Structure 1
């Protein structure tokens, strides 16, 4: 069993005399500069060739993108991390998704009672010197009655032996790590960190996607993998899952916000050449911008209290995540209509944004799962 060593210690060192809002503003400026320098030039390569933008991801870490949301005791604010991934998403959703993977991994580590793991690997992940993924798609579906758990663990001296396979885990590569949830023999669950390349862990080709091929996504096979107690995030997972779930879901809204911002920009770009006919379309960029502003205000408010145990708060989180999916798809649809044929060519930005937006709607928790979760709450 995981020994509870202490409550989480404060996050990364703070600069004396500097307000949190000033720190976040500085981080976001650095992220935007890194996005323009390291991401924008390779966006077409990411989309067309499945290029993994590792240099940009590490630059975002150096800018502080993966640490502003880490908890200090029972307090945390996710809004800075969400805005950072949205800034990358204005250029490339695949990269914003990788940032969410990194943010989620840092969140798991920062929320763990395992002080050794939190203060060792946790600091490296928060700095972007170690990259990695979440591995929670299957368990998130399992906990809401959609799938069966795919990983099983057997207790052995000093840890567990874990076997099973996950069809897709993202933001992976040589030297990367990721989280797993596995069933214990008596039916409860534990959560741990696993490293790509360790004995028994294999990354396999996960197939080509309509978009997001540059996200470092692989199938993962675990064959009798030894997971030492030192690498356990939580065992059992029950209370820990409630601590991390709002952050896991809410930070995904950054992807949607980034796509919507990009789609509004595309619609505005064609106002001068096509405005004389686009004005007859039912939805205009100002309409989408108004919906986005309302979504951002709600997400910012929810981001300030990610450990709120009130069921009404959790319902608002799920509702906001659903709204981000639906608005992303709608905004991309309207951007395509506004851009017309120039957006429909193979290199057109509008068709790329449409493909990307559907990912926001199908990544776990997908629209259908979110709707099921809300229905279950009502029941």
Structure 2
């Protein structure tokens, strides 16, 4: 047995409600019978989707962490939504109606922009100028929170840009806009309820007013910290829940896993300190530190869910057990953008 406890990253008045809501619906979310956004809208009505828009991001990071200790799918949906809010804030643009409360959902389709910036991928949505705006064609390989009426932020390559003009823009559109065609992906290991899918864009019109910025490098620099800090928070929360479960079974096999548990726990404590420090002053975050945090938090979640399986034993192998759910959720982290390969490439080239 261990004295490990699930301590909050930051305490806030609604914390118990956050935990209770996520726990109550975790199994139904996992079976795609309940939408994570039903929980998020409840939290949004209390201002819990817009914490840290100025100053410390730690309260928002703490909400993501707490959600993930009970349901990583809901925490993942929070991350994608909160990132969309951060995109508007980075450009000093007003939030679309309903985004602050979750009545309107937010989708980040920015993976291609980050990959293009790093040289590990390309933007696959092309734009040409037409009267009053842009016409878009192309594909987005993966995005989530794809609910009708939701706001989508994405990068485009402008094929007919004039000489000397930027050729990459960031634009916004809506999930149900004409020409925005979603093929929802189901049968996933986890996250089936997150409304994730592949998108084919055909002759989609984006008015001039929905071109958010033509300074893509500057935009990516501003959004990196909130994007990765909230993402790291749900990796860490998932790992914390697994360690909490494993801690109750360390007497298995005469305590053979105690030393390994202690090593993983020490890494968890280090990452708690790291994310807390970085989230307090997100505007000052060093790029390499936040990239490393995200990679390490994902590795922590993987290691923690593995030792949970090993210590809890056969009952953790049942598909409807919380242990099995956490194990499946952790397997998403190496492929979530930025993927493990992308992060490792970035870190190998970071100064």
TM over 0.5: yes
Name the structure 2 match of 1:119.
94
CA deviations over 1:87-127 (Å, ceiling 9, x no partner):
110111111100000110010011114xxxx3241x63222
Secondary structure in structure 1 of the residue aligned to 2:22: helix
Name the structure 1 match of 2:40.
57
CA RMSD, Structure 1 to Structure 2 (Å): 2.0
Name the structure 1 match of 2:139.
165
Return the alpha-carbon distance in structure 2 between the equivalents of residues 295 and 335 of structure 1. 19
1:1-379 correspondence runs (5 A): 25-26=11-12, 29-36=13-20, 38-49=21-32, 51-71=34-54, 76-113=55-92, 118-121=93-96, 124-185=98-159, 186=161, 188-271=167-250, 275-277=251-253, 279-281=255-257, 283=259, 285-308=261-284, 313-377=286-350
Residue pair 1:32, 1:88 contacting (<8 A) in 2 also: no
Return the alpha-carbon distance in structure 1 between the equivalents of residues 279 and 25 of structure 2. 31
Secondary structure in structure 2 of the residue aligned to 1:214: helix
Return the alpha-carbon distance in structure 2 between the equivalents of residues 208 and 145 of structure 1. 31
Residue pair 1:31, 1:63 contacting (<8 A) in 2 also: no
Return the alpha-carbon distance in structure 1 between the equivalents of residues 50 and 184 of structure 2. 30
Return the alpha-carbon distance in structure 2 between the equivalents of residues 350 and 207 of structure 1. 21
Question: How far is the alpha carbon of 1:192 from its aligned partner?
Answer: 1.5
Return the alpha-carbon distance in structure 2 between the equivalents of residues 343 and 63 of structure 1. 35
CA deviations over 1:230-267 (Å, ceiling 9, x no partner):
22221232312211122212221111111011112211
CA deviations over 1:318-347 (Å, ceiling 9, x no partner):
111111011110111111111111111222
Residue pair 1:211, 1:355 contacting (<8 A) in 2 also: yes
Return the alpha-carbon distance in structure 2 between the equivalents of residues 202 and 112 of structure 1. 27
Residue pair 1:270, 1:338 contacting (<8 A) in 2 also: yes
Return the alpha-carbon distance in structure 1 between the equivalents of residues 28 and 134 of structure 2. 41
* Alpha-carbon spacing, 1:31–1:276, altered in 2? closer, same or farther (3 Å): closer
Secondary structure in structure 2 of the residue aligned to 1:153: strand
Residue pair 1:169, 1:219 contacting (<8 A) in 2 also: yes
Secondary structure in structure 1 of the residue aligned to 2:191: coil
Question: How far is the alpha carbon of 1:207 from its aligned partner?
Answer: 4.2
Return the alpha-carbon distance in structure 2 between the equivalents of residues 206 and 188 of structure 1. 31
CA deviations over 1:152-178 (Å, ceiling 9, x no partner):
111223221111111211012122121
Return the alpha-carbon distance in structure 2 between the equivalents of residues 139 and 278 of structure 1. 50
Return the alpha-carbon distance in structure 1 between the equivalents of residues 118 and 33 of structure 2. 32
Q: Number of aligned pairs? A: 337
Return the alpha-carbon distance in structure 1 between the equivalents of residues 47 and 175 of structure 2. 24
Return the alpha-carbon distance in structure 1 between the equivalents of residues 187 and 134 of structure 2. 33
Unmatched tracts of structure 1, length 5 or more: 1-23
TM-score (structure 1 length as normaliser): 0.83
Secondary structure in structure 2 of the residue aligned to 1:167: strand
Residue pair 2:179, 2:202 contacting (<8 A) in 1 also: yes
* Alpha-carbon spacing, 1:106–1:347, altered in 2? closer, same or farther (3 Å): same
Moved more, 288-297 or 369-378: 288-297
Residue pair 1:139, 1:149 contacting (<8 A) in 2 also: yes
Question: How far is the alpha carbon of 1:284 from its aligned partner?
Answer: 5.3
TM-score (structure 2 length as normaliser): 0.89
